[in-house]
Chains A and B, each alone.
Chain A
Amino acid sequence: MKQSNRISGGQIDRSTSLHFTFDGRSYLGHAGDTLASALLANGVRLMGRSFKYHRPRGPLSAGSEEPNALVHLRTGARQEPNTRATVAELFDGLHATSQNAWPSLRFDSMAINDRLNSFFTAGFYYKTFMWPAAFWEKIYEPIIRRAAGLGALSKEEDPDEYDKGFLHCDILVIGAGPAGLMAALTAGRAGARVILADEDFRMGGRLNAETYEVGGMAGADWASAAVAELMSMPHVRLMLRTTIVGAFDHGIYSAVERVSDHLAVPAAGKPRQTLWRIYSKRAILAGGATERPIAFENNDRPGIMLAGAVRAYANRWGVAAGDRVAIFTNNDDGLRTARDLQAKGVDVAAVIDSRQGGDLLAGIRHLQGAQVIDSSGRLGLRSVTVRLASGATETISCSALGVSGGWNPNVNITSHHRSRPEWRSDIAAFVPGAGGPAGLTAAGAASGALSTHGALATGQAQALAALADLGKAATAGELPRAEDAPIAISPLWYVHEGKGRAWIDQQNDVTVKDVKLAHQENFTAVEHLKRYTTLGMATDQGKTGNVLGIAIMAELTGQSIPATGTTIYRPPYTPVAMGALAGRSRGREFKPFRLTPSHKWAAEQGAVFVEVGNWLRTQWVPKAGETTWRESVDREVLATRRSVGICDVTTLGKIDIQGTDAGAFLDKVYANTFSTLAVGKCRYGLMLREDGIVFDDGTTARMGPHEYVMTTTTANAVTVFRHLEYCRQVLWPDLDVQIISTTEAWAQFSVAGPNARRLLQKIVDQDISDAAFPYMGAGNITIGGLRGRLFRISFSGELAYEIAVPTRYGDAMIRKLMAAGAEFDAIVYGTEALGVMRIEKGHVAGGELNGQSTALNMGLGKMVSKKKDSIGMVLSQREGMNRDDGYRLVGVKPVDPKGSISAGSHFMEIGAPVELASDGGWLTSKVFSPHLGCDIALGYLKAGDQKIGRKMRAVNFLTKTDTIVEIVSPHFFDPEGERLRG
């Protein structure tokens, strides 16, 4: 377990050794390591396999752009697929395994694909697997799907918690490198509320990976001092391990803070991650730049890395990428890596510099005008083949190669609003374009200022500009001194020599050949190139490969790079755990539960509850000895019809409507008339949408000359109220009418059955005899002095009332009702019995109020008054909604009382074939009627009003039932309504 490649220096804590395993082998690393740096320190280069060809791969980078070193982190239900080893912070006991390889990372059977690569070109699958047709689902696709994907989920429930939070600031600074730190310092010193977020676990950005001086001290030390100063400012919030993942409208950013990912398990009570929604007035993107490779034959072997990553491993983590390192570069930045390695005593085999001229590096073999044309080493780099300026080739042995093809500013977030980056030829890179998120500017390398001085200067300048925008006074302090070297790039995208494959998008195995094939087949538009070759569609979203692909296509078409254009980045900046986006809205907490006032009482009785929208309602209340739900429901129905039953109907929407124009208002929103309703009376109301379809129904009572109480269905309580506000504020703004939702304010119970009045008279202080409180009466009452409301309305067809008390008395009320009802054997009935009784009476509810039906369909056409203007009145008169052969509500019962019917069955004529023309309509709601002793249903039947008495089939193909039914009136029970007037 010797850390053979560990060298001196770096920002790791060598006094803290951490044990970890990779593919079952144990290793040691240090605090401050990533999984990748620790594995490299231990001489492990092979960390993954590519997607298509299963090529052996090591880390390409030292950051979140990593396409290759993806592993399974942790075990069991916490197994995290596709975790980038380059950003996974090492902790003691870390357990990682390789993925997308079988039986092992070293011997992966799927690497056969690599041998067959000449068949597996871009888009080959579009041209084959078509014959025979039936083979796609049965043979070809299952094979493809078995090979699909990278890492695997555990399929167990994620045991960790996730949080969400909201933050506000004047200026959000994205990235804490030199530009971000300078911007935050400038804004913080001016007193602005600043949030500084960085995805890394150490602030300083590239300063941690470099040997530059800033302000006369080591860059990393300057960064530490800047962080210390920022931490002393109470109005500045520093957020480590926090990635800004998306830019949304009006200065809103989403951020993921990895609260516990650097620990074996989250601390008690702590989430794994937190999703922050940050509201900013201004934002500065200081996200740095990402290095890009140069494509050459076999440029994907473990040990071949970006030159800046080689430098970062050496400087920040004290790790030599190999015992002998070569560099391949087309710009000055690659030379820095060579110098830094040399200073650390690492053996630099050679610098292969594609440029001609300029100063030669001292003490290093600097091959100008040379290119790497091939490499060797099956599971790790052994040598590179170099074409020298002289034309000769030379094989140089090395275990690592640092490649620098230039740096791409991290424009990602600036294109989240679909702004297209612009090409800057002086640095050979795309920089943020116009039309990015309002209030967002870029600084530092992200803006194309690639030197340390440039980062500091633009960071300060953008902060000053933002402060000026916000009206905050600030002065430009003196900038710390820093290097300002030009990048001196001479673009080289790919090495033209060689017949083998040169990788562009390493994870998806997109090679230069694939781009050439796309060009040959006329997939030349950048979007076609991407979609045809899958360039940029891997987990790194093309951070290292896209610009190469575009540049190569530009070369092939003879167009410039800006004319070729670019695809754009979409959120998120780096992939985000689904758990973080969901937060605590999962399991039973996915949506809130609303509980009725009698819930506690019902639960004590052993009630069965059912989800009705967000409500939990009592479905039925089983009694001892009842073995099926039907027994309970039948008993509840019969007991109600025989004596008295009680049902919590609080869930119905309740709206108080007051004002001198309250009646006129109701006349506009209801299809029927309410202004003529007498005080102290209720009326059934039918509400239409403007398109003439029934919106809702309910009873509305007139409690005073200018005061009404409306009820709505449970389902539409919210939307009806919204609609009434719309009518009141938008359509008829001068009406003197005020409304308020009182659904939560009143606990309301239906008391139904022949003994309903006798029961209620025991507890209501006023006289509620038929004379004093007739059918459809309504009024304010008291119950032992407690104010309440009473409505004599019936959904069940029985003598029935709805009694309301303030919600906080709801629990007391159900207990009082049950106590008072004991002498009548009162029972509580649930939604099932409610449904049975309303269908026996032919009342419409959910299945009939489906948003597709007119009053005419429901047999309520006459309720739509043409004498006044109301919502939906005009459009309900359209010809297609008034056809004689349209759907009409009917009752249905099986001819054989033992016959079974089901809701959703369709009506067919007896003997009709199974085809669309035979479709007569459908059964909307079905129950077993204990009163009639058979199934009964409501349904919409074409010309149903003309078919009463006819025999038809109710067919359910899904359950293979086909029952002869009789079409009857929907009023199965007490059609004359004698009971409810009793």
Chain B
Amino acid sequence: MRYSGFRVIAEALTGHKGWKPVWRDPEPQPAYDYIIVGGGGHGLATAYYLAKEFKQARIAVLEKGYLGGGNVGRNTTIIRSNYLLDGNEPFYEFSLKLWEGLEQDFNYNAMVSQRGIINLIHTDAQRDAFTRRGNGMILNGADAEMLSRDQVRALYPFLNFDNARFPIKGALMQRRGGTVRHDAVAWGYARGADMRGVDLIQNCEVTGMRIENGRIRGVETSRGFIGAGKVGVAVAGSSSKVMAHAGMRLPIESHVLQAFVSEGLKPFINGVMTFGAGHFYVSQSDKGGLVFGGDIDGYNSYAQRGNLPVIEDVAEGGMALMPAIGRARLLRTWGGIMDMSMDGSPIIDKTHIEGLYFNGGWCYGGFKATPASGWCFAHLLAKDEPHKTATAYRFDRFLKGLMIDEKGQGAQPNLH
């Protein structure tokens, strides 16, 4: 069924009897042409684009828990394409362009809201680095502006301009950056995929892979064996666990990233703000909660929860930037498992096993990548060759010395 304002009014007047399930709960079939492992944002987007853009059929998404329960359901909802390096920027700009047309494309209001993102500048060296970045963005067809201190003050007069340890000297701004209602992204893709015949199978955990003569034949699951022509794994956070079924070790570690939301407050932060010197970033949701975060805890973890030092560190960054939030209250903290890769950039690639494809290593930047990740992974699955914006996201870049290291930290995942 098609969603619209008229439909909402019509249903309201008739007691909402007509709303249909957003997706079916089908029993798994014996075999599919494509199995996508992982019903998070990237997996659902992959299935959606495989069906819609690449006209493939006989597709299933296998999800261990509930749809959208991975990092698409626990993130800070930011979209942007303000990347530095040539390997990344075209991909994230492609993603931002897909976000811009997403709601009309999948007929679901995910509240894509381009209220702008600023990266604060505190030193001349930072300005130089952000100037390099902004110019790279423009060369890639993205938008970027440099704001003066006064322009930042006009946007956010309550920031700490006068008594700061790291005085604000300006900001790099991307006006097309913003936020999206994260759960709705998963639901919109799920609904769109389901409508196109994709089987979304919840509570179905992949427990093994059947590989014969170097070719994948299907997956063992908690609901039995399911045959497959091609298997695409998109389970960021659990990539190492799932790919171990294929005997692969990955250039990835799993780390916990905590995120935070405050009680609902009357709006005072319009866009997204990052305070790199203070390890803090923030936006305010359409419900009024401040949504914010900072560094990862820094140790390998699958626990989906973090510890107190990072909570304090993030709050300190927030108070240093915005002394007015002292009396706002932190409402909830949570932790997600991040696929931290060895250079901080993702992998969308074939494996050495024929028919087995991998999508992961998203670090904590996976949410904004969701549309392009799905599109590019679908492209790879359908055509066996990388999409033009994702050619750098190969496994062998580490062997060849072609790392995409935005932060220049080297092979230490917890620093990316």
Are chains A and B touching in the complex at the 8 Å CB cutoff? yes
Which residues of A line the B interface, CB within 8 A?
A: 51, 78-82, 118-119, 121, 124-131, 133, 136-137, 141, 144-146, 148-158, 160, 162, 164, 246, 248-249, 252, 254, 275, 277, 416-418, 513, 517, 520-523, 525, 527-528, 531-532, 534, 538-539, 541, 570-572, 575-579, 581-583, 585-591, 593, 610-612, 689-693, 695, 846-847, 850-852, 875, 878-882, 902-906, 914-916, 918-919, 922-926, 955-959
Residues of B near A915 (CB, < 8 A) are: 139, 141
B3 touches which one: A130, A923, A926 (CB < 8 A)? Answer: A130
Given the known A-B contacts A539-B331, A586-B316, are A958 and B265 also in contact in the complex, defined by CB atoms under 8 Å?
no
Q: How far apart are the CA atoms of A538 and B67 in the complex, in Å?
A: 23
In the complex, chain A residues whose CB is within 8 Å of the CB of B157: 155
Residues of chain A within 8 A (CB-CB) of B90 are 916
Contacting A924 at CB < 8 Å: which of B128, B268, B333, B410?
Answer: B128
Residues of B within 8 Å of A581, CB to CB, are 311-312, 314-316, 330
3 shortest interchain CB distances as A-B pairs = A851-B408, A904-B131, A149-B288
CA distance A160 to B122 in the complex (A): 26
Which residues from chain B contact A916 at a C-beta distance below 8 Å? 86, 89-90, 139-141
Residues of B within 8 A of A578 (CB): 262, 315, 318-319, 325-330
Q: Are B320 and A585 in contact (CB under 8 A)?
A: yes
The residue in chain B whose Cβ has the minimal distance to the Cβ of A694 is: B408
| Contact for A611 among B69, B166, B181, B397, CB less than 8 A | B166
Q: Is the CB of B320 within 8 A of A586?
A: yes
In the complex, whether B154 has a CB less than 8 A from a CB of chain A is no
B36-49 vs A, Cβ < 8 Å mask (1 yes, 0 no): 00000000000000
Question: Contact mask B181-223 → A, CB, 8 Å, 1/0?
Answer: 1011001100000000000001000000000000000000000
CB-CB under 8 A from A587, the residues of chain B are: 160, 163-165, 320, 323
Q: Is B145 interfacial (CB 8 A cutoff)?
A: yes
Find chain A residues with CB under 8 A from B167 CB: 611
Contact A80/B312 with A148-B287, A881-B401 known, Cβ cut-off 8 Å = no
- Find B19's partner among A155, A521, A878 (CB 8 Å cutoff): A521
**For chains A and B in complex, what number of residue pairs have CB atoms within 8 angstroms?**
367
**Segment among B50-58, B108-116, B241-249, B370-378 that sits at the interface with chain A:** B108-116
Which residues of A lie under 8 Å from residue B12 when comparing CB positions?
Answer: 118-119, 121
Sample of 20 further A-B pairs with CB below 8 A, known A137-B113, A570-B334, A880-B397: A80-B327, A82-B264, A127-B8, A127-B108, A128-B7, A136-B113, A148-B288, A246-B311, A254-B311, A520-B21, A525-B66, A527-B66, A577-B330, A582-B326, A690-B410, A850-B129, A904-B132, A922-B132, A955-B135, A959-B146
- Closest chain A residue to B287, Cβ basis: A148
B131 pairs with A902, CB closer than 8 A: yes
Sample 8 A-B pairs with CB under 8 A, ordered by A number. Answer: A145-B286, A154-B327, A156-B158, A254-B308, A581-B330, A852-B408, A916-B140, A955-B135
Say whether B333 contacts A572, CB under 8 Å. Answer: yes
CB contact under 8 A between A158 and B263, given known A127-B7, A133-B103, A847-B125: no
- B265 partner, pick from A150, A277, A879, beta carbons under 8 A: A150
Whether a CB of chain A sits under 8 angstroms from the CB of B155 is no
**Chain B nearest CB: distance from A322 CB in Å?**
29
Closest approach, in angstroms, between the C-beta of A151 and any C-beta of chain B?
Answer: 6
**Distance, CA A918 to CA B140, complexed state (A):** 10
Q: Say whether B4 faces chain A, with CB atoms less than 8 Å apart.
A: yes
Tell whether, in the assembled complex, residue A154 and residue B287 are in contact, meaning their CB atoms are under 8 Å apart: no
Given the complex, which residues of B lie within 8 Å of A955, measured CB to CB?
Answer: 135
CB distance from A906 to the nearest CB of B (A): 5
Any chain A CB within 8 A of the CB of B25?
A: yes
- C-alpha spacing A164/B403, complex, angstroms: 42
Contact present for A82 and B329 (CB under 8 Å): yes
Given contacts A119-B12, A575-B329, contact A133 B111 (CB under 8 A): no
Q: A121-B16, A575-B263, A906-B135 in contact; A153/B328 too (CB < 8 A)? A: yes
Q: Identify which of A141, A852, A914 contacts B113 (C-beta below 8 A).
A: A141
Contact B139 A918, beta carbon cutoff 8 Å: yes
Chain B 73-113 interface residues, beta-carbon cutoff 8 Å to A: 73, 86, 89-90, 101, 103-104, 107-113
A247 to chain B, nearest CB (A): 10
Chain A residue nearest in CB terms to B112 = A136
Query: Contacts A581-B330, A880-B402: A691 and B312 contacting too (C-beta < 8 A)?
Result: no
Cα–Cα distance between A80 and B327 once the two chains are bound (Å)? 6
CA A585 – CA B321 in complex, angstroms? 11
**Number of B positions contacting A (CB below 8 A):** 121
| Neighbouring A residues of B166 by C-beta, 8 Å | 590-591, 611
Q: Which of B226-234, B299-307, B352-360, B361-369 contacts A (4 or more CB under 8 A)?
A: B299-307
Smallest Cβ distance from A966 to chain B, in angstroms? 20
Smallest CB separation, B44 vs chain A (Å): 14
CB of B232 to closest CB in A, whole Å? 24
Q: A590–B410 contact, CB under 8 A?
A: no
* B23 interface residue (CB < 8 Å to A): yes
Knowing A158-B324, A590-B165, say if A248 contacts B112 (CB, 8 Å). Answer: no
- Chain B residues near A571 (CB-CB < 8 A): 311, 332-333
Check B408–A691 contact: CB distance below 8 A.
no
Assess the B267–A904 pair: CB atoms within 8 A: no
Q: Smallest distance from the beta carbon of B192 to chain A beta carbons, Å?
A: 13
Cβ-based interface call for B149 (8 A): no
Q: B108–A126 contact, CB under 8 A?
A: yes
In whole angstroms, what is the CA distance A248 to B310 when docked? 12
In-complex Cβ contact of B267 among A121, A148, A252 (8 A): A148
User: Nearest Cβ in chain A — how far from B363, in angstroms?
Assistant: 16
Neighbouring B residues of A51 by C-beta, 8 Å: 264, 287
In whole angstroms, what is the CA distance A527 to B253 when docked?
A: 27
Tell whether B383 is near chain A: CB-to-CB under 8 Å.
no
Whether A275 touches B312, Cβ cut-off 8 Å, given contacts A131-B5, A588-B164, A589-B165, is yes
- The residue in chain A whose Cβ has the minimal distance to the Cβ of B132 is A904
Do A79 and B139 have beta carbons less than 8 Å apart? no
Known: A157-B324, A880-B400. A133 touches B66 (CB 8 A): no
Q: Check if B164 sits within 8 Å of A691, measured CB to CB.
A: no
Is B144's beta carbon under 8 Å from chain A? Answer: yes
**Smallest Cβ distance from A831 to chain B, in angstroms?**
10
A531 touches B73 (CB 8 A): yes
* Smallest CB gap from A152: residue in B: B266
Question: Cβ of B136 < 8 Å from any Cβ of A?
Answer: yes
**A118 vs B10: C-alpha distance when bound (angstroms):** 10
Cross-chain contact B266 with A577 (CB below 8 angstroms)? no
Instruction: Indicate the member of A532, A582, A591, A695 with the most B CB atoms within 10 Å.
Output: A582
B145 to chain A, nearest CB (A): 7
Q: Is the CB of B286 within 8 A of A158?
A: no
Instruction: Give A586 to B330 CA distance when docked, in angstroms.
Output: 17
- A312, B69: Cα distance in complex, Å: 40
Q: Which residues of B contact A80 (CB under 8 A)?
A: 327
- The answer to whether A958 and B4 have CB atoms under 8 Å apart is no
- Contact of B410 with A126 in the complex, beta carbons under 8 Å: no
Verify B330–A572 contact, CB threshold 8 A. Answer: yes
